């Protein structure tokens, strides 16, 4: 549906120019919930503004349905935006706020009222149609902002961190609500966030960005299980990183006998090994695992499990999660010696250039 081809954006000129985006290539499918994820300053909001038409690219193309829209004014694009601040008119009622966008686009007056009624039903705000937006909660205001953006029937809805101003409980509720709306309407959503959990919960695919470049584009599961590099692995969830070496098709960690290579591992020499904390097994494994010994440095209770920080005998550190169940063995204690296993199939070997950079 939307092809982003070699898109770049530069602010300023000469030696002081700042390259906010550097040759971005993404294809976004129709009806997809697509998320741009990354830390502040990575370029995700700049990319969203280019799609919306609020900025013009320094190079590249934005091809929507086969037509380059990069230089088309924002009000002539089949795209609408929900802003972080919502940007509602406080003196207007809910219905008036939703109607405003239709009026501004020159919609036939006879079509406006039925369309407002329809979209307010969809976002479950019809019962508050005559209330002013200034008299509403944050979650209600967000629904009104959604309704206003959806009313003109855009091909693509852009959402610029629309949940960041909500408290945790309401944010979780609105995540479910946004995903429900997206599926029911069959619209393409392009969502910007710096919240990893939010991206993993809602997205069909995620583009991880850093320094104006794309690090990886994949499904949430693929990003988590098969990160392309150390930055993605660290940014998507928690991860352990251990230095290792590949010699003669064997993996060697400090203080451990040679172990089989994880699947699809090629090459040799120094590497960085990644494993998620929940994949570390307490106790010695029977086979196909690397066994490590250490001493517990810290324990943090977090409800369903306890986060364990383990100081390894080889000098490294390892984080793991021990489930809190009524059937658990003797509770862990700080200072306790502990043996853990790293299943070979759970290990990921990161690219050599990333390992060197680390």
Contact 56, 70 (CB under 8 A): yes
The pLDDT-based confidence of 124 (bands split at 50, 70, 90) is confident
* DSSP characters over 71-95: TS-GGGSSEEEE-TT----TTSBHH
Residue 330: predicted pLDDT? 67
Nearest to 241 by CA among 319, 188, 170: 319
| Element spanning 159, H or E | strand 156-160
User: Cβ-count burial of 221 within 10 angstroms (0-12 exposed, 13-18 middle, 19+ buried)?
Assistant: exposed
Residue 354: predicted pLDDT? 43
The pLDDT-based confidence of 329 (bands split at 50, 70, 90) is low
Q: Which residue has the tokens 């710096």?
A: 194
Average pLDDT over every residue of 118-137:
88
pLDDT at residue 36 greater than cutoff 80 = yes
pLDDT at residue 152 greater than cutoff 80 = yes
Percent of the chain predicted with pLDDT > 90: 54
* CATH entry, 2-230, from 3.40.50.2300, 3.90.1150.10, 3.40.50.300, 3.30.70.1400: 3.40.50.300
pLDDT at residue 358 greater than cutoff 60 = no
pLDDT at residue 228 greater than cutoff 50 = yes
SS3 of the chain: helix, strand, coil, percent, to 5: 30, 35, 35
Please give the order of strands across the beta sheet that includes 156-160.
79-82, 156-160, 188-193, 33-37, 205-210, 213-218
Cα gap 279→250, rounded to integer Å: 21
Q: Which residue has the tokens 């939307």?
A: 2
What own/partner pairs with CB < 8 Å and gap ≥ 24 does 115-119 have?
Answer: 115/151, 116/151, 119/147, 119/150, 119/151
Under DSSP, is residue 306 helix (H, G, I), strand (E, B) or coil? Answer: strand
Continuous H helices in 105-254: 109-122, 138-150, 168-185, 196-202, 220-225, 230-235
Domain ranges of the chain: 2-230, 239-357
65-69, 89-93, 134-138, 245-249: range with lowest mean pLDDT: 134-138
CATH topology of domain 239-357: OB fold (Dihydrolipoamide Acetyltransferase, E2P) (2.40.50)
pLDDT at residue 342 greater than cutoff 60 = yes
Q: Rounded mean pLDDT of the chain? A: 89
Average pLDDT over every residue of 35-41:
94
Cα gap 282→332, rounded to integer Å: 11
Residue 16: predicted pLDDT? 84
Cα gap 244→254, rounded to integer Å: 7
Residue 355: predicted pLDDT? 40
pLDDT at residue 40 greater than cutoff 70 = yes
Nearest to 162 by CA among 51, 82, 46, 45: 82
Average pLDDT over every residue of 99-107:
85
Residue 308: predicted pLDDT? 94
Average pLDDT over every residue of 345-357:
69
pLDDT at residue 146 greater than cutoff 70 = yes
Instruction: Extract the tokens encoding 227.
Output: 């990160």
């Amino acid at each position: 549906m939307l092809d982003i081809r070699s898109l770049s954006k530069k602010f300023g000129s000469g030696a002081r120019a700042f390259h906010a985006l550097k040759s971005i290539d993404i294809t976004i499918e129709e009806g997809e919930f697509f998320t741009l994820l990354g830390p502040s300053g990575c370029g995700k909001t700049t990319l969203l503004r280019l799609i919306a038409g609020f900025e013009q690219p320094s190079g590249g193309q934005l091809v929507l349905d086969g037509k380059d829209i990069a230089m088309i004014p924002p009000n002539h694009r089949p795209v609408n935006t929900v802003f972080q601040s919502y940007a509602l008119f406080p003196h207007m009622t809910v219905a008036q706020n939703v109607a405003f966008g239709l009026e501004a686009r020159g919609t036939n007056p006879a079509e406006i009222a039925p369309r407002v009624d329809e979209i307010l039903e969809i976002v479950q705000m019809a019962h508050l149609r005559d209330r002013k937006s200034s008299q509403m909660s944050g979650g209600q205001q967000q629904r009104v902002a959604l309704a206003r953006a959806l009313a003109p029937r855009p091909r693509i809805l852009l959402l610029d961190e629309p949940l960041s101003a909500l408290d945790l409980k309401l944010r979780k509720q609105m995540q479910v609500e946004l995903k429900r709306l997206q599926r029911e309407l069959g619209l393409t959503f392009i969502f910007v966030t710096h919240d990893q959990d939010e991206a993993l919960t809602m997205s069909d695919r995620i583009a991880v960005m850093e320094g104006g470049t794309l690090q990886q584009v994949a499904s949430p599961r693929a990003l988590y299980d098969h990160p392309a590099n150390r930055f993605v692995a660290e940014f998507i969830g928690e991860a352990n990183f251990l230095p290792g070496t590949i010699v003669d098709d064997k993996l060697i960690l400090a203080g451990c006998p040679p172990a089989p290579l994880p699947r699809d591992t090629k090459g040799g020499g120094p590497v960085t090994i990644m494993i998620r904390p929940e994949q570390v097994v307490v106790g010695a494994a029977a086979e196909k695992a690397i066994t490590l010994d250490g001493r517990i440095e810290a324990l943090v209770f977090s409800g369903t499990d306890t986060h364990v920080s383990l100081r390894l005998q080889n000098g490294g550190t390892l984080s793991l999660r021990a489930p809190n169940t009524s059937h658990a063995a003797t509770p862990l204690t700080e200072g306790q010696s502990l043996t853990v296993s790293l299943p070979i199939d759970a290990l990921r070997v990161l690219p050599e250039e990333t390992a060197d950079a680390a």
